[in-house]
Amino acid sequence: MNRPSARMGLTNSVVVTTATSAASSAFGAQTTQIRVATTAACYYKVGDPSATPTAAATDVLLPANRVEYIRITPGQKIAFFNPGATMTVSVVEISQ
């Protein structure tokens, strides 16, 4: 699938510990999309700027070894949850 070109911005590594949700920092004012990659399966939830989201096993599943592009609103945050292992998720901010 062809995507319009975009600018890769800041990389935000989120460390997720066993059975605990971990959230990113708020995304920048020019960020409209994020690129998420991980080597282990996890769940994620995007939240509004007014609160820090908490991900759980009932949220969206990101399979292992996948890259996902997610449309967001500037200022939002993303949280990750992995019930079985400590892991690091790479989150890259993208702007047009």
SS3 74: coil
Burial class (CB in 10 A: 0-12, 13-18, 19+), 50: exposed
**CATH code, domain carrying 13:** 2.60.120.10
Q: What is the distance of C-alpha 78 from the center of its chain?
A: 5
Does 21 map to a domain?
yes
Range of the domain at 46: 7-95
Residue 6 binned pLDDT confidence (cut-offs 50, 70, 90): low
pLDDT of residue 18: 76
Does 66 map to a domain?
yes
Contact 16, 89 (CB under 8 A): yes
Quote the pTM value.
Answer: 0.86
Domain count for the chain? 1
| pLDDT tens string 29-52 | 999 999 999 989 999 999 988 899
Does 1 map to a domain?
no
Does 40 map to a domain?
yes
SS3 41: coil
Does 2 map to a domain?
no
